[in-house]
Structure 1
């Protein structure tokens, strides 16, 4: 009662009466409370617009309505995906799909990653498609690994990674082992809208879990994954003897067991586990944000354990273990949390060094590639120029790097390493996505090797910068929930000073040499002014190149209500005046905030401290 006839909510409430198993999704207590209290805003938020399926799949809060992750929206999404696969891949019923999940659960709505994964399996099985459903929680990298290892048609990972506890997500991989990119996202989205009515057996998880079409890849993939990453262990004898003490935290996620196994596969001393955070807990009780990218606040317990055990290094995974953060105790006694760009420099240097030790043919370097996203540090470009291998940048996100890595490997090229500044690293081509498990073991070996030379990570990073040029970055973001404000901010930059289709030529005292707009496809550096990298009108992204060697990119996030900015000052080898370079970059960031963000500052929330 009180719900208007013809409204989305009225239709959905009456619709679920036909499907008793769906009742609890839309008629659970939180929804009843909204209706009883006449909370129109909350109802509108849940039911006025459907979650958009994009190249990042889905990510939203668990709860009632078409804007949230729940049993019905998972079924609808999977039905659409299944139909799209049937249209796109002829032997889907021979090859099948893999489905994995993390430990997320949301008791108020009844949603959980395991429940959503079971429903997705039921949908595919109802169409006669074999499903490799993991019987327990796994890291996200296990899903793309399984797609490639078993030659499957697709993979689904149910996870919201490092998002707040109420969120969940639905991440999709294509048959090439990489995340989907356009046009698959649009094709899947269209198929979802054409298959909204649940098929009769889509709810029937009980029967699906008994089906002969259901397989459990857990044991096999556990064995094969660690066998695959052992190929990147190059200093086993050093690892066996190493006395280096390392602390690891999985931040209440899935990573503990798997990182322990990875260290064992490399014959490394087991890392000390942060007891309060090693077991999966969907409430994330010890952290405000379960994201090690946020730095020290997430690592407080790790530092305490390291002090107790005399450990010099801390490793941290995010809850689905596809990212890796590292901190090191300095001579001053303070802890240094490395940025994603700094770790990209260290891991890129190390992986190339290991390759060079194994390859005596000087010409072989011409077949090597390293990749990074366009908002990440250009340090790999500098290393590539000096060492003779190839460097490429891609659009933001591992979906682009994973697909490019697959293209290159299909051409018999070797992609040694790829990274993004958001602490994501692809250290092995057996996983065409970021992988915090293999990265942890490879970092452990690098730390052990450097210890034999009495060199710290900080010292090695300085050596890299002195040899290839300092690359100093400073990244942050503003929170903004109002899409109109975001559009206004970026449109002002495209029509700067009130002049249509005109970009700024300066920012305070800093002259702008070039502008690239990957929303509109404009690039002032190209002869025809057209960008080389793919463009997308559905997201905002503008890059400014400054005459002082600075680069700044402003973009919106695909999964969070953020306007992110990324800045870097690249100095040539020989320029080691670090205090001056840092001051120059600080001044540039201040100028960007003052000139490009200031008109909207009262509508933006700064990054939480």
Structure 2
């Protein structure tokens, strides 16, 4: 059946896309949704579903579940997997012998027959590395809303895929769109002798691996610190309980209403602990009943970790991703130094963070003598760089990004909220023996290495034209072509780095050192007062994010003044860089 969509070329292409879909799709639910849209002449809805195929972004796919090439559904995943399989066959002669691991979290999806249990995402890269596999696939949309799902891919090195693999897989998908005859036969696939379930062995080996980062077992056993943990309706509960047990820590109190996996996320508006207090309301209530002073929270696939601490005033302090990065970085280095007292060992040690994250690790590295590197945003970059360093015989102790992602172990080359929770639990217990709170220790870190005050937020924008207009204005400021602003509301700009175009005013040849991508927007402004601000588009959500930080020299303890100066800088950025498009942007929900 054809839909009356006019005679334009775009309409013909849409009609062809819909016809091909109905020819290929054997899922009666999504097929009937498309047929209903055609009967109703719902051209806009059809265009939304069929206008553009999902592209590999942050190491895979992430989109709303629904019909059409723009959405996550049986057919697009079959097409994606066929393309990926084709690419793997071209890349590895021994693919069948080595294999691929597939896992999933507790998102809504069809029953998976006799396959394994829902996973914390960190077990996927661990499995790839531990078993020497060619690749791994994780079905997860992390902290996205309930209507979304995703398809995350790891390469043989145990890290998320980067170029050229993403482009190679995309091309292979395009030439493998027609489902292979056996693609829809899930029952037959589950009978294959090639299918194995390594879950139990991997579960055991993972916790053995992270135990190597437990340094204060005696303190842990006697700890009297009461900790609450929430998995925010995800998979984290069982894994964090097991991690605390592996570290000989007392089991954290679990938020009963959020303990078990539930893809509807009924108690939260957004299943993302990065959003702060709104997600942690039930955790604070449980902490009050149990007399707990610390809350740990994972996102639904347990690759992120948030931490909050009750202050003497009775108020809860939710640590930012940068603050927790400072605490964990300090703790990881302290424990490492105790194990490696020889003076020259530090020369082989590395820590990493993404370029939009706090520069606190750089400040610690300068004073302590280890190496610090920054990468592009996302753990696909940090994981791959960590692997390169490990292959060179270097030690990679810690990596983090401000979006509450932490890599505390080289056994998992991705962010891991499970091992981070156990390591945070040990740090909290150790500090308690010295009668030191997390917030007090954070102040000590800033006093020694310099205050690093950050303020991050975002605007929601679904219109790509608005986004392009906003960033193009910054590249042609004041109407002058290829000219960036030199001032922002009275704050002098000392340098500009544009990782969309590859421009960096700090480099002798004006070319950026970090990799560039013309398909995403990212500009960093450095200010004469020590401030740094980055504006970028998200790879997984309709957001324009901004990240700001004011870095002070050690000894400058005028926190009140530093915070006011950063507030003024953020206000100037919003007014001068966002204001012309402000009425077309939706601010971050309160």
Q: TM-score scaled to structure 1, two decimals?
A: 0.94
Matched, 1:215 2:205: no
> 1:3–1:9: 8 Å Cα contact kept in structure 2?
no
Q: CA deviation at 1:258?
A: 0.3
The match for 1:428 is 409
Q: CA deviation at 1:39?
A: 2.1
What SS class does the counterpart of residue 148 from structure 1 fall into?
helix
Distance 1:406 1:359 in 2: 22
The match for 1:299 is 280
| Aligned equivalent of 1:569, options 522, 545, 550 | 550
Matched, 1:282 2:247: no
| Aligned equivalent of 1:162, options 143, 147, 157 | 143
The match for 1:441 is 422
Q: CA deviation at 1:27?
A: 1.9
| Aligned equivalent of 2:66, options 57, 63, 68 | 63
The match for 1:3 is 3
The match for 1:331 is 312
The match for 1:102 is 105
The match for 1:176 is 157
Q: CA deviation at 1:38?
A: 2.6
- Deviations 1:94-140 (Å, cap 9, x if unpaired)? 100001101111xxxxx44x65xx8xxxxxxxxxxxxxx96110011
Structure 2: gaps spanning 5 or more residues: 6-10
- Deviations 1:64-103 (Å, cap 9, x if unpaired)? 1111000000000001111111111221111000011011
The match for 1:530 is 511
Summarize the alignment of residues 32-181 of structure 1 with structure 2, pairs less than 5 Å apart.
Answer: 32-105=35-108, 111-112=109-110, 115=112, 135-181=116-162
Cα distance change on mapping 1:545 and 1:267 into 2, 3 Å? same
Matched, 1:22 2:26: yes
> 1:13–1:27: 8 Å Cα contact kept in structure 2?
no
Q: CA deviation at 1:10?
A: 4.8
> 2:255–2:282: 8 Å Cα contact kept in structure 1?
yes
Cα distance change on mapping 1:74 and 1:25 into 2, 3 Å? farther
> 2:474–2:485: 8 Å Cα contact kept in structure 1?
yes
What SS class does the counterpart of residue 27 from structure 1 fall into?
helix
> 1:55–1:182: 8 Å Cα contact kept in structure 2?
no
Cα distance change on mapping 1:356 and 1:496 into 2, 3 Å? same
Distance 2:145 2:209 in 1: 32
| Aligned equivalent of 1:386, options 355, 367, 380 | 367
The match for 1:247 is 228
Cα distance change on mapping 1:18 and 1:498 into 2, 3 Å? closer
Q: CA deviation at 1:34?
A: 2.6
Q: CA deviation at 1:33?
A: 3.8
Q: CA deviation at 1:23?
A: 3.9
Structure 1: gaps spanning 5 or more residues: 106-110, 119-132
Distance 1:418 1:479 in 2: 28
The match for 1:314 is 295
> 1:251–1:284: 8 Å Cα contact kept in structure 2?
yes
> 2:21–2:68: 8 Å Cα contact kept in structure 1?
no
- Deviations 1:528-562 (Å, cap 9, x if unpaired)? 00000000001000000000000000000000000
Matched, 1:31 2:34: yes
| Aligned equivalent of 1:189, options 159, 162, 170 | 170
Q: TM-score scaled to structure 2, two decimals?
A: 0.97
Distance 1:391 1:16 in 2: 49
Distance 2:47 2:549 in 1: 41
Q: CA deviation at 1:15?
A: 4.4
Cα distance change on mapping 1:134 and 1:155 into 2, 3 Å? farther
> 1:373–1:396: 8 Å Cα contact kept in structure 2?
yes
Distance 2:287 2:250 in 1: 15
Matched, 1:264 2:245: yes
The alignment yields a C-alpha RMSD, in angstroms, of: 1.4
Distance 1:400 1:588 in 2: 29
Runs in 1 of length 4+ with deviation above 4 angstroms? 4-19
Distance 1:13 1:291 in 2: 35
Q: How many residues in Structure 1 have an aligned counterpart in Structure 2? A: 585
- Deviations 1:413-432 (Å, cap 9, x if unpaired)? 00000000000000000000
Q: CA deviation at 1:280?
A: 0.4
